[in-house]
């Protein structure tokens, strides 16, 4: 694998991303929506109207588990929203990659790239990194904005800043997010090798969101508590799945097959 060749492919892909308003809009709008909507819908009510949660029959299990503690309730919601930010690196790379790969198939520009003196690994690495880098950047910026806005809300309502579980969030953002981003891009490559519509590729790849959001639903329903053990277990599982999709992605991205079958 050549770093110079990979960098050249990344530069080419970034140029295409900057020209695509749909991709740019998705990279900006979706993370911004999460960083604004989640504090407003979950954190703010827990700060200013905690009794709405602690006294409600529907959430009585939360009150029992947290001992009627407002600060514990806020921390509970901070951990509960982690799956939303883990969802971003799973979805955003598929948007970039599906348009990149399928766009090249439609424009017949993939064949010249394959004919160039670059290896399949150079192409895969360049396309993967060009999708993962902006997706992770958007995810991390969104998470930082969420923490800043949450801190401002807790300081305004309680006159002190309540921070999320640092270990859980760091593991989620620095380990799970890259692993999920890699899985998202490899699934996009696998799906894109069999379809010619980027929207179809995105819809099929979106199945990855289901197990991620099950963590949020499980936490809110009282079936699971998102903590360090859960996050470590999830990281180990996703790492194993990444190895599987890497093998599948490499087998799908075959030079001769692409030239003869990717029509």
Tell me which residue has tokens 């360090």.
228
Alpha-carbon span 216 to 226, nearest angstrom: 8
- Asked if the model's pLDDT at residue 58 lies above 50, the reply is no
User: Greater confidence, 18 or 100?
Assistant: 18
Residue-level pLDDT at 193? 64
For residue 107, give every residue at least 6 positions away whose Cβ sits within 8 Å of its Cβ, in sequence order, or none.
none
Tell me which residue has tokens 């923490």.
147
Alpha-carbon span 116 to 171, nearest angstrom: 39
- Asked if the model's pLDDT at residue 25 lies above 70, the reply is yes
Task: Please state the rounded mean pLDDT for residues 128-141.
Answer: 85
Report the range of poorest mean pLDDT among 25-29, 162-166, 221-225, 226-230: 221-225
Q: Quick check: pTM over 0.75?
A: yes
Alpha-carbon span 153 to 144, nearest angstrom: 14
Alpha-carbon span 133 to 173, nearest angstrom: 13
Tell me which residue has tokens 């993370």.
31
Q: How many domains does the chain have?
A: 1
Residue-level pLDDT at 38? 84
Give the CA count within 13 Å in the CB-facing half-sphere of 159: 0
Are the CB atoms for 173 and 136 separated by under 8 Å?
A: no
- Asked if the model's pLDDT at residue 3 lies above 80, the reply is no
DSSP conformation class of 254? -
Tell me which residue has tokens 């996050």.
231
Percent share of the chain, pLDDT over 70? 67
- Asked if the model's pLDDT at residue 139 lies above 70, the reply is yes
Distances (CA, A) of 120 to 178, 181, 252, 263: 22, 20, 11, 19
DSSP conformation class of 192? H
Residue-level pLDDT at 68? 56
Residue 248, class by beta-carbon neighbours within 10 Å (0-12 exposed, 13-18 middle, 19+ buried)?
middle
Residue-level pLDDT at 115? 65
Percent share of the chain, pLDDT over 90? 5
Domain that holds residue 257: 3-261
- Asked if the model's pLDDT at residue 174 lies above 50, the reply is yes
Alpha-carbon span 216 to 95, nearest angstrom: 23
What does the mean pLDDT of the chain come to? 75
């Amino acid at each position: 694998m050549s770093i110079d060749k990979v960098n050249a492919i990344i530069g080419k892909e970034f140029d295409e991303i900057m020209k695509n308003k749909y991709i740019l809009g998705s990279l900006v709008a979706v993370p911004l929506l999460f960083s604004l909507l989640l504090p407003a819908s979950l954190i703010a009510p827990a700060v200013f109207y905690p009794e709405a949660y602690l006294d409600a029959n529907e959430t009585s299990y939360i009150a029992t588990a947290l001992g009627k503690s407002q600060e514990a309730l806020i921390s509970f919601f901070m951990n509960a929203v982690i799956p939303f930010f883990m969802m971003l690196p799973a979805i955003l790379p598929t948007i970039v990659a599906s348009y990149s790969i399928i766009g090249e198939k439609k424009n017949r520009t993939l064949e010249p790239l394959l004919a160039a003196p670059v290896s399949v690994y150079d192409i895969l690495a360049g396309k993967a990194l060009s999708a993962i880098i902006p997706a992770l950047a958007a995810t991390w910026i969104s998470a930082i904005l969420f923490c800043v806005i949450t801190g401002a809300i807790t300081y305004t309502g309680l006159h002190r800043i309540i921070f999320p579980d640092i270990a859980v969030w760091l593991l989620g953002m620095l380990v799970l997010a890259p692993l999920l981003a890699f899985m998202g891009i490899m699934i996009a490559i696998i799906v894109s090798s069999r379809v010619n519509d980027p929207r179809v590729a995105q819809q099929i790849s979106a199945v990855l969101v289901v197990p991620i959001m099950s963590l949020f639903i499980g936490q809110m329903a009282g079936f699971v508590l998102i903590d360090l053990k859960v996050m470590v277990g999830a990281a180990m599982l996703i790492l194993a799945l990444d190895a599987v999709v890497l093998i599948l992605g490499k087998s799908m991205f075959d030079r001769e097959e692409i030239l003869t079958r990717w029509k």
